[in-house]
Structure 1
């Protein structure tokens, strides 16, 4: 059974957890309010909308340079904001070779004009013009329901760096370590996009349906055998009397 926030209880023979994840953003004034609008993450999801525009990449982790390279596919007006992450000499050389500008210093705020991002400000007072700001959030699985069932939540790493958490589940069927519980979508695969997450839901649904069919068959067989044994015994007793 699952208890909902309003106190109601839902009972079912199987449970599919598809609670998604939470994007944990860097602590920066005004950032969360612009998230998904002109503060972005994925070039494959949002690149077309900001093509050829000035894009700034906020360096918050080891993949900042890689992010700048990806967004360069959409615009040649990319600036990497070092923020709190110093760049290595080889990284600077690579960015220079690619024509990616570098702005030194901590980012202290966003500039918004007419409900559109216009730029960011640095600690020294400098301003960097951009109409889109790229950040790398931490992907944290919404695993409250899973945790209440005692299911393990794993750390997700990429190139040796932690990028978030996920609920452990079979990558094909979505089955978890707990009998009768499946997981699908970003709660189990944080890097998955919409189409892949939806497909995972379909695969899990097929697996759940198959499991229910198998259980139904076993119960029917048990009932059939039990009825057969009972009927045979009664007939035998009647024949001897």
Structure 2
């Protein structure tokens, strides 16, 4: 770990991507003690640049995260490398366990661990993922514009994906792969837009040098392509929340599993918020960062309300042991922040 963990924080943020760092930034600027625990495996690591993000378009993902870490630290927040293995509620707070046996306590949790892309079992596909094997026309579409693009069927959004990429290139082929070819209105839409449908299972990508050259079918034929779009099944990284009774659920779109929450990021477990791809499978970097900021502000407001309630109780009954403990806790919290 790069920084020394304290025993207790107002908020522990689990996940150090755009959502987690922006949430931590809002909390640190509100003078909350906050630490970001980051396992160091961002989903967009293979991509050359972040796109569709105003004033940061094309910036390498690693550079964006490094800048974000610096901003969180500037306001007194911590960013620590570590993998969370579990979380539990104990005596009104949360205990977060890390690999290696270390634990840290928090009054609130913000979970921003993102998701895992489960890709089709096609030889060569994983190796080219995030380069010329893509999934999002808004993240990568401009970079493959006017190229020969293939769409690998694999989920309920595949035909929609094909129509989106058709906006970017006149040469789009839809590979039915292991699914039946599109029928009815979907087949009519593809035909009307000039998208050819190729039946037969896809077995491998043909790679020449450092680029895709084609898509190989089970019968041995190869369809020349420069890029391939897939619709992976997206699964939230949230197994460590099972101890809190919080588990991923099937997303309404059928595209994978997410941790459900309200618009502000609140989960069904009081004191636990989520933001970014762990709850919104389709969120791009800008949307994930915005959701993190929203969750951070909501968490701070929740803590403010709790502190005000405790102060009122202590004022009404200043001699109770419980009130004395609450005042001591508040004073210690003020001292931590130099107030």
Fold similarity call, TM over 0.5: yes
**1:111-150 pair list within 5 angstroms:** 111-150=206-245
Could you tell me how far apart the structure 1 residues matched to 2:308 and 2:319 are? 16
Contact 1:141/1:188 (8 A) holds in 2: yes
In 2, Cα distance between equivalents of 1:88 and 1:227: 71
Distance 2:113 2:169 in 1: 34
Across the two proteins, how many residue pairs are aligned to each other?
Answer: 226
2:318 to 224, 227, 234: 227
Gaps of 5+ in 2: 1-94, 322-339
Alignment partner of 1:210: what SS?
Answer: helix
Q: Given that residues 238 and 247 in structure 2 are in contact (C-alpha distance below 8 angstroms), is that contact kept between their aligned partners in structure 1?
A: no
Tell me if the contact between 1:39 and 1:133 (Cα under 8 Å) persists in the aligned partners: yes
Provide the secondary structure at the position in 2 that maps to 1:10.
strand
Match of 2:194 in 1: 99
Q: Which residue of the partner structure matches residue 186 of structure 1?
A: 277
SS at match of 1:62: coil
Structure 1 residues 199 and 49 mapped into 2: Cα distance closer, same or farther (>3 Å)? same
Higher Cα Rg: structure 1 or 2?
Answer: 1
Tell me which residue corresponds to 1:204: 295
Q: Match for residue 65 of structure 1?
A: 159
Alpha-carbon distance in structure 2 between the residues aligned to 1:155 and 1:176: 15
Q: Which runs of 5+ in 1 are unaligned?
A: 231-241
Structure 1 pair 115/222, CA: closer, same or farther in 2 (3 Å)? same
How high is the TM-score relative to the length of structure 2?
A: 0.63
Aligned residue in 2 for 1:165: 257
Query: Alignment RMSD, CA only?
Result: 1.8
Counterpart position of 2:24? none
* Preserved CA contact (<8 Å) 1:146 1:167: no
Query: What residue number does 1:236 align with?
Result: none
Q: Distance in 1 between matches of 2:190 and 2:302?
A: 53
Name the counterpart of 1:218: 309
2:142 to 48, 66, 76: 48
The 1:6/1:52 distance shift into structure 2, 3 A limit, reads: same
Task: Tell me, in whole angstroms, the C-alpha distance in 2 between the residues paired with 1:209 and 1:74.
Answer: 43
Runs of 4+ deviating beyond 4 Å: none
